[in-house]
């Protein structure tokens, strides 16, 4: 993998925040705007609200499909904890897909704004209590193994650079010890990155997945919900606060990114010293 490609990937992974939540924020704002816009007829408000809900459900289904693909592409030895969790998480994703697909199929049958609001409320409740905490676990599970691959590549790169520096020093082409500080820094960064990834892995592999079982049958019949921004439930708040694995992985990937930046510094300095630039 080319250095520039790895740096771009690391920048994306570190900056992504690792939040898998499919947000309904724009749809919330849409419902509020629709309800307050007196220039719209009741029919127009209804159609716009239904369209907004449909788009939100499509986004959720796309996220589920992407996570399913990510899991399918990761192979584990049979009988391992990783294989067990992969199978359980795939079952969870089937549940999420079923819920959102049924909700999406129900949307065209809704006959008034109140029915749309009720369905949207139930979908948001499901998102906060079931989907979001479940998908956060899946995202962390996928990421911990991607980070393992990235760390392995970085370690191999470090070993090659260290060997190259030693050869150049032996040949007298660069002064001994010129890159000692940077080499030591890289070693520390990668060692810490490995420790952090291992800590995150131990926490993530200890998680007990919970298959989603909610159906949409009771959703279509409910008509009393209002579209306000939903407060987090006590259970969801507890999950949001428990971000240790995510923060560990984010810091680990940040260390690897810093190591690659030092790789580039060393490479550029060597080229200048040898008159290659």
- CA 160 from chain centre, in angstroms, equals 31
Whole-angstrom CA distances from 68 to 86, 88, 272 are 10, 12, 47
Per-residue pLDDT, averaged over 29-35, amounts to 53
Q: State both tokens at 272.
A: 């200048």
Q: Given pLDDT bands bounded at 50, 70 and 90, which one contains residue 184? A: very high
Q: State both tokens at 21.
A: 């939540």
Per-residue pLDDT, averaged over 1-25, amounts to 45
* Mean predicted lDDT score pLDDT of the chain: 79
143 pLDDT more than 70: yes
154 pLDDT more than 70: yes
The per-residue pLDDT for range 185-214, each reduced to its tens digit, is 999 999 999 999 999 999 988 877 664 444
62 vs 34 pLDDT, higher one = 62
12 pLDDT more than 50: no
The per-residue pLDDT for range 55-77, each reduced to its tens digit, is 999 999 999 999 999 999 999 99
Per-residue pLDDT, averaged over 116-132, amounts to 91
CB proximity list for 83: less than 8 A, separation 6 or greater? 76, 77
């Amino acid at each position: 993998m080319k250095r520039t490609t790895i740096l771009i990937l690391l920048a994306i992974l570190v900056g992504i925040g690792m939040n898998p939540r499919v947000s309904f924020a724009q749809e919330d704002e849409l419902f509020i705007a629709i309800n307050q816009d007196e220039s719209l007829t009741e029919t127009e408000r209804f159609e716009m609200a239904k369209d907004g809900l449909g788009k939100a459900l499509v986004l959720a289904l796309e996220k589920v499909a992407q996570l399913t693909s990510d899991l399918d592409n990761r192979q584990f030895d049979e009988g391992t904890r990783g294989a067990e969790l992969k199978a359980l998480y795939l079952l969870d994703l089937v549940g999420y897909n079923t819920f959102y697909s049924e909700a999406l199929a129900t949307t065209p049958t809704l006959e008034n704004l109140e029915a749309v609001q009720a369905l949207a409320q139930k979908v948001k409740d499901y998102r906060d209590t079931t989907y979001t905490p479940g998908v956060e676990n899946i995202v962390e599970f996928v990421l911990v193994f991607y980070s393992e691959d990235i760390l392995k590549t970085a370690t191999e790169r470090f070993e090659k650079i260290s060997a190259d520096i030693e050869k150049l020093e032996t040949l007298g082409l660069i002064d001994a010890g010129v890159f000692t500080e940077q080499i030591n820094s890289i070693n520390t960064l990668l060692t810490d990155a490995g420790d952090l990834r291992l800590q995150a892995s131990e926490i993530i592999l200890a998680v007990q997945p919970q298959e989603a079982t909610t159906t949409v049958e009771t959703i279509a019949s409910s008509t009393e919900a209002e579209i306000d921004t939903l407060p987090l439930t006590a259970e969801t708040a507890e999950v949001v606060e428990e971000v240790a694995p995510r923060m560990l992985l984010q810091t680990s990937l940040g260390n690897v990114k810093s190591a690659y930046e030092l790789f580039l510094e060393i490479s550029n300095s060597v080229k200048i010293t040898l008159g290659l630039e």
